[in-house]
Amino acid sequence: MERSLSFYLHVLTARLDRAADRILRAEHNVSYSRFLALALVGELEGATQRVLAEYLGVTEPSVSRMTGVLAGEGLLDVQPDPAGGNRRRLRLTERGARLVAAGQRTLEDRLAMVVAESGVPYDQYVRYTAQLLETFDRLEREREVST
């Protein structure tokens, strides 16, 4: 196989995810998936599960199961939307918010170190990555419309 971009991205991301998982479990006793969910809820105060699923890039059943677990652990507060409809509003609990803040510091410090060590220009790489994501999303949406 001519080592392709998708393969490199796949492996790089898998390793970063696993390292993040290891660090978060060791220092904050939470998996990376759960951490990502909590971090986004922190940003999207009062989001519904559907919105969270969209931002996380996973399906609604995944979010449904995850929010159940996180609420059970006291990190997340899940309430029926007071405005009505079959909706749940999501918020971080006090503990959830502390965990997100601490975890973010830990992770960003480590990744910045790896990037610095590699010599890859951080800002440009982030820009490229975000740009690819945006293009990919747009093409996928166009594909869906045409289906």
Partner DNA sequence: TTGGCTAAGTTAGCATGTTAAGTTACTGGA
Partner DNA sequence: TCCAGTAACTTAACATGCTAACTTAGCCAA
Q: Considering CB distances under 5 to 8 angstroms, the limit depending on partner class, which of its own copies, DNA, none binds residue 120?
A: its own copies
Q: Give the integer Cα–Cα distance in Å for 146 and 13.
A: 30
Q: For residues 86 and 146, which CB has a smaller minimum distance to its own copies in the complex?
A: 146
- Which positions touch its own copies (CB under 8 A)? 1-17, 19-20, 36, 39-40, 42-43, 56-58, 100, 104, 107-108, 111, 114-115, 117-120, 122, 125-126, 128-137, 139-140
Q: Which stretch binds DNA (CB under 7 A): 29-37, 106-114, 117-125, 134-142?
A: 29-37
Q: Considering CB distances under 5 to 8 angstroms, the limit depending on partner class, which of its own copies, DNA, none binds residue 65?
A: DNA
What does the buried/exposed string (b/e) look like for 113-122 if buried means 16 or more CB atoms within 10 Å of the residue's CB?
Answer: eeeeeeeeee
When asked if residue 18 is in the footprint of DNA (CB under 7 A), the reply is: yes
Site for DNA in 31-60 (CB under 7 A): 31, 33-34, 48-50, 57-60
Q: Where are the alpha helices (DSSP H) in the chain?
A: 5-28, 32-43, 49-56, 60-72, 94-118, 122-146
When asked if residue 85 is in the footprint of DNA (CB under 7 A), the reply is: yes
Angle between helices 32-43 and 60-72 (to 10 degrees): 90
For 42, counting Cβ atoms within 10 Å of its Cβ (0-12 exposed, 13-18 middle, 19+ buried), the class is middle
